[in-house]
Amino acid sequence: MNHILIMVCVVVTVGPGLGRAADPAEQELKRLEGVWASAPAKKGRDRGHIIVFQGGRMLWRSFETRDGEPVIGHDELYEVRVDPKATPRQITATRGDGDRQDVRRGIYELDGDTLKAAFGSGLDGERPKGFEGAHPVTLTRDKHAKVPDLSKAGKADQETAIEPTAKWFGQVADKTVAEQCPEKPITTAAEFEKVWKALRGGEAVPKVDFAREFASSTRPPARSSPGSSSRSSRARRWTGRSPPRRRLARRSRD
């Protein structure tokens, strides 16, 4: 018998911290503080970005879009430093340490509620000299978005265990049905409905706000014969607007 578990979880985002004195760099970080979002193309495939500045930390969410809607993405959390006196202004984002350290060197322009930023390519890439040819991203301040309190976050690059906010359990006798559960994230209502109906037949499909949540699925190791399989599912929530592991799940992106 194949066991099915569907859950909704809240993702707690963690990030690094850095205390600063009241200097021009700190004042600049105060001006940057908030949620900044790009505007992906309304048609076709594109990539969107959401950057959150708070308390000397930066949460960077990058995601693929389809017709303007998020499909799949990931979060990165950094300690951030800025040099507003440089020309162009400089930003350096760092996470991890040792062999796992990731340093992003970039430049930016801040004009009221518009932020333009460009970073060197690859890990530890060289800082761009200018915006031309550097593939800059233009973001607008989202004045209505809630800014997450990154001061309570832990160390960057550290996973945090989360509890689901909703769960659904079940069993299917047909192994091939269980195998229809995708290993990649489920990010659209149509895909979620397809998987749900395959597993639970005519049962009403739960409401999932895919503007804030996503689903994922996993198959735990078989406990009985080699021909049997089980699959568990759970959803996680994105803080701000972000990736799941192999489980059928729903996450929030706020």
Q: Whole-angstrom Cα distance, residue 83 to residue 89?
A: 6
CB 72 within 8 Å of CB 64:
yes
Angle at the Cα of 247 (from 246 to 253), degrees rounded to 5?
Answer: 95
Q: Which of 9, 13, 1 is nearest to 247 (CA)?
A: 9
What is each CA distance from 157 to 13, 114, 160, in whole angstroms? 10, 28, 10
Q: What percent of the chain has pLDDT over 90?
A: 34
* Domains defined along the chain, listed by start: 2-11+159-250 (no CATH), 24-147 (2.40.128)
**Does the pLDDT of residue 212 top 60, yes or no?**
yes
pLDDT tens for 159-190 read 445 455 666 666 666 777 767 777 666 778 88
**Does the pLDDT of residue 107 top 70, yes or no?**
yes
Q: What percent of the chain has pLDDT over 70?
A: 63
pLDDT tens for 3-36 read 555 555 544 444 444 444 568 999 999 999 999 9
User: Looking at the whole model, is its pTM more than 0.95?
Assistant: no
The token pair at 124 is: 């530890």
The token pair at 125 is: 């890439």
**Does the pLDDT of residue 223 top 60, yes or no?**
no
Q: What pLDDT shows up at residue 11?
A: 45
**Higher pLDDT pick, 198 / 124:** 198
> Phi and psi (nearest 5°) for 105?
-105, 130
Q: What pLDDT shows up at residue 88?
A: 97
- Calculate the average pLDDT of the chain: 76
CB 40 within 8 Å of CB 143:
no
The residue-averaged pLDDT of 53-72 equals: 89
Q: Whole-angstrom Cα distance, residue 10 to residue 20?
A: 31
H helices of the chain, where?
Answer: 24-32, 175-178, 189-200
